Homo-oligomer: A and B are copies of this chain.
Amino acid sequence: MVLEERTIKSDKIYTGKILTLRVDTVEIDGQGYSKREIVEHGGAVGILAITDDKKVVLVKQYRKAVEKPLIEIPAGKLEIGENPKECALRELKEETGYDAENIKLIHKFYSSAGFSNEQLFLYLATGLTEGETNLDDDEFIDVSLVDLEEAYDMVLNNNIEDSKTTIAILMAKNCL
């Protein structure tokens, strides 16, 4: 295995609101050169929020990238310098209105390491109390409560198609 790909040249292609695209030319020991297209992303959190009666808080929203609505756990992007745990509490509140008494990191993963550095921090939130939502101007989200067993079936029959939501529900089934 190669232990390093040395960056010989790095071209910034685009800097946007949620991502940056760059193309690196890398040198691989004894193997010459190659190009790597890389999408930089500031990272995100997903929240597996479970009510006292073992229901999972799910949200449904239109995702332009895939041109359809997806069923997901609440989630959001990390703001610059923001602590992931605080981000998780903030996003849960903003998207669903719930406050959580307990919040715990259960997994970290790279969504698509072949081309992006986006890292997702998955939190388990319990001790929920209801409150008011506070959505961004261009966010439109349906919130629902689903039995954990039913959510698990939604993963198995692939009604859930989002990576973080799949991981969160499978982990809940295994680890709670």
Q: Chain A interface: which size bin? A: 35 or more
Known: A62-B3, A110-B70. A167 touches B174 (CB 8 A): no
Known: A140-B28, A166-B167, A174-B173. A18 touches B114 (CB 8 A): yes
Whether B63 lies near A114 (C-beta < 8 A) is yes
Shortest A119–chain B CB gap in Å is 8
Shortest A115–chain B CB gap in Å is 6
- Tell whether A44 is near chain B: CB-to-CB under 8 Å: yes
Shortest A147–chain B CB gap in Å is 17
- Tell whether A145 is near chain B: CB-to-CB under 8 Å: no
Whether A115 lies near B41 (C-beta < 8 A) is yes
Closest chain B residue to A141 by CB distance? B1
Whether B31 lies near A23 (C-beta < 8 A) is no
Residues 107-122 of chain A: 1 if any B CB is under 8 Å from the residue's CB, otherwise 0? 1111111111111100
- Tell whether A64 is near chain B: CB-to-CB under 8 Å: yes
- List the B side residues contacting A86 at CB < 8 Å: none
- List the B side residues contacting A41 at CB < 8 Å: 112, 115
Shortest A13–chain B CB gap in Å is 5
Closest chain B residue to A14 by CB distance? B13
Shortest A165–chain B CB gap in Å is 9
Docked Cα-Cα span, A173 to B167, in Å, equals 13
Closest chain B residue to A13 by CB distance? B14
Docked Cα-Cα span, A31 to B60, in Å, equals 18
Shortest A78–chain B CB gap in Å is 12
